[in-house]
Homo-oligomer: A and B are copies of this chain.
Amino acid sequence: MSQQQSTLYVELGDRRYPIHIGENLLTSRGLLAGLIKSRQVVVITNETIAPLYLDIVLGQLPDSILVTPVIIPDGEQYKTWQTLGEIFDQVLVARHNRSTTFVALGGGVVGDITGFAAACYQRGVNFIQIPTTLLAQVDSSVGGKTAVNHSLGKNMIGAFYQPTAVVIDTGTLSTLGAREYAAGLAEVVKYGLIYDAEFHAWICANRSQLVARDGDTLRYAIQRSCEIKAEVVAADERESGLRAILNLGHTFGHAIETYMGYGSWLHGEAVAAGMVMAVRLSALRGSVDAELVVELEQLLVDLGLPVWAPTEMRSETFIDLMALDKKAIDGQMRFVLLGALGAALVVDDVTEAELVALID
């Protein structure tokens, strides 16, 4: 491998797996073929990604194996029970057995639904993540959270199921739309806030290079984000403790997504506005300086992200929607706040009065 490629590992014992990061990995000789051990492969992608990268991926696979491409519609609104059922129909018609490998080629929606399909197909088959959006590369492709949405809540049906490998080709970001790209940067910002003040400072200093999609800047941002995520997931795979800090801004963000209907706001956009709310709540509680809220808003605006929830969403709307959120335990809402810049903590003692003060 050249110097522009790197590999890090998610340390999960006998389910340890590599994350390969680099430009043009999709055409890197033998990489994909070497990762697939089976004689059958299902490649799941969407209508937007298929014309761009499907043939490239198929071209890397030996002719001798059975390959079934499954193309789903593009968008969070298709991350559903019904789409999942249609995937199973196609895979069963093509007669894949339980030694097959599922490959997710696309963004977070493709990765989440493919991972869940792999977890359930014949009670579990191997799968490989090839994330093609920044959000998927720095967040959803790593860590084994898979799911589909339900009209009553996001990611309500799913599984913890780890891939056997993640292949991040940073070259795929060149075709990513501006909104989707910015949405991915929201998660990059999150890692600095919750875990690494130095990384946060680096992001602030390099915001214009990030917006310009400078290759080296981007590679470092992705690598550091994946390192942090891998470390947190290795420490707490099933989110019984530490892993919850990855949800900074997500409790508010999920409420925004549910309220607006999936697909209206991008996940990363909702998380951006949600992070501002969480950091502002942290400041109201005195654990971080109010100046950090202002700085964060400016950073997110510079990166092309929203910093306010829709104005028609009042505190009672948030409270109602958040009560159903998976992070609510026995009716008690939990929030990820900042104890300090670079150090998140989970609290369950936020009062409704505080939420009213924050939102209304």
Taking CB atoms, residues of chain B closer than 8 Å to A16 are none
The answer to whether the Cβ of A48 comes within 8 Å of any Cβ in the partner chain is no
- Bound form: Cα–Cα A12–B334 in Å: 32
Q: A326-B98, A328-B97, A330-B97 are in contact. Are A147 and B123 (CB under 8 A)?
A: yes
Interface pair B158/A92, CB less than 8 Å apart: no
Cα distance A95–B264 when bound, in Å? Answer: 24
Instruction: Indicate whether A119 reaches chain B with its CB closer than 8 angstroms.
Output: yes
Residue of B nearest to A81 (CB): B85
At the interface with chain B, which of A148-156, A181-189, A339-347?
A: A148-156
Question: Given known contacts A89-B152, A92-B156, A97-B330, what 12 new A-B pairs fall within 8 Å (CB)?
Answer: A81-B88, A88-B157, A92-B150, A97-B328, A99-B329, A120-B157, A120-B159, A122-B156, A123-B155, A123-B159, A123-B238, A159-B159
Residue of B nearest to A121 (CB): B157
Task: Give the Cβ gap from A335 to chain B, nearest Cβ, in Å.
Answer: 15
Residues of A within 8 A of B (CB): 38-40, 81, 85, 88-89, 92-93, 95, 97-99, 116, 119-124, 145-147, 150, 152-153, 155-160, 238, 323-324, 326, 328-331
Shortest beta-carbon distance from A114 to chain B in Å: 14
Contacts of A92 in B (CB 8 A): 150, 152-153, 156, 324
A-B contact pairs, 12 of them (CB 8 A): A39-B330, A95-B323, A98-B329, A120-B120, A120-B158, A120-B159, A121-B156, A122-B156, A122-B158, A123-B159, A123-B238, A124-B160
A93 near B152 with CB under 8 A, answer yes
Give the interface SS of chain A, mostly helix, strand, loop or mixed.
mixed
**Contact between A159 and B88, CB atoms less than 8 A apart:** no
A122 to B324 Cα, complex, angstroms: 11
The 6 closest A-B CB pairs, nearest first, are A92-B152, A123-B158, A120-B157, A122-B326, A39-B330, A81-B85
B121 pairs with A88, CB closer than 8 A: no
Interface core residue of A39, A98, A121, A329 (most chain B CB under 10 Å): A98
When distances are taken between beta carbons in the complex, the residues of chain B under 8 Å from A97 are 324, 326, 328-331
Which of chain B's residues has its CB closest to A325's CB? B97
CA gap between A38 and B329 in the complex, in Å: 10
Q: Could you tell me the distance between the alpha carbons of A257 and B160 in the complex, rounded to whole angstroms?
A: 32
Contact of A123 among B93, B95, B98, B160 (CB under 8 A): B160
A284 to chain B, nearest CB (A): 26
A89, A120, A121, most chain B CB atoms within 10 A: A120
Given contacts A97-B329, A99-B329, A147-B123, contact A88 B324 (CB under 8 A): no
